[in-house]
Amino acid sequence: MVLVMRMRHVVRRASLSKRVMARFSSTNVAAPSRVDDDLIANFQLLLEKRQATEAMQIFQSLKKPPATALSQRLAIMLAKRATLKDTKDAIDVLKSVYMNPTLKPDDFTMLAFIFVSDACYRNKMLKEALEVTEEAHNLGVRLDLPAYNNLINALVDADQTDEAILILQDIAGGDVISPDETTYAGLISAIISQREFSQAMETIDQARTSGVKFSGEVLGVSLR
């Protein structure tokens, strides 16, 4: 299953928009014109004024993406608004960030991924939320626990428990995120409802080994 996910990512990443890739091509690295300088200055001013719609219009007109810090800021602003259009725009802006071969992820990169993934959940864009999370992991970036809880619960609600288990195993196996009772509760309940009792007990044991303590209420609901 993990191999399938990785192969799917390789194929999808290879077929990503040529326009996005071309914006980082060496043929487009010519010295910026005065017009580009003016556009970037206006773009930055619009960000300062928190005018995300107008800033997005300039972003789309640029031959090359602006500085990573500016793009990340725009992605966060759009994602916070979380309309369907703003979310799609935020994904496009974030894509220009993580497709940049010179990117050095920082805390603002992590925040951009978190806010964009959250906007995806709000708009029931589970496929896009998975892709955003996968791209973050490819960069070595981890989201925060609420973001993973949202993703796992959304996968459970969509009857994709196998995917939810893979995500949980990924974050539980690291040393950055510490899953808690909330992370496991819905997933365990879903596994039990599928009558996969051995899988449920294995998941509970793994959680306890990682230091997760379950309340009697959660276990009672899960094992009912």
Q: Which CATH class is domain 41-141?
A: mainly alpha
How far is residue 118's CA from residue 76's CA, in Å, rounded to a whole number?
A: 10
Instruction: Look at residue 96 in the predicted model and tell me its pLDDT.
Output: 97
Residue 140: pLDDT band (50, 70, 90) is very high
The secondary element (H helix, E strand) that includes residue 19 is: helix 18-22
Q: Which residue has the higher pLDDT, 69 or 30?
A: 69
Of 23-32, 80-89, 184-193, the poorest mean pLDDT is in 23-32
Q: Does the pLDDT value for residue 139 go beyond 60?
A: yes
Instruction: Look at residue 102 in the predicted model and tell me its pLDDT.
Output: 95
Residue 65 tokens, joined: 């993406």
Residue ranges per domain, the chain? 41-141, 144-215
Average pLDDT on 50-78 reads: 97
Instruction: Look at residue 220 in the predicted model and tell me its pLDDT.
Output: 57
Torsion sign, CA atoms 171, 174, 180, 184: positive
Q: Does the pLDDT value for residue 56 go beyond 80?
A: yes
* Cβ neighbours around 54 below 10 Å, total: 14
Instruction: Look at residue 210 in the predicted model and tell me its pLDDT.
Output: 82
Topology agreement, domain 41-141 and domain 144-215: yes
Closest among 140, 94, 102 to 120, alpha carbons compared = 94
CATH number listed for the domain at residues 144-215: 1.25.40
Of 15-29, 85-99, 104-118, the poorest mean pLDDT is in 15-29
User: Tens digits of per-residue pLDDT, 143-186?
Assistant: 999 999 999 999 999 999 999 999 998 888 877 888 999 999 99
* Structural contact between residues 132 and 120, judged by C-beta atoms closer than 8 angstroms: yes
Q: Which residue has the higher pLDDT, 31 or 115?
A: 115
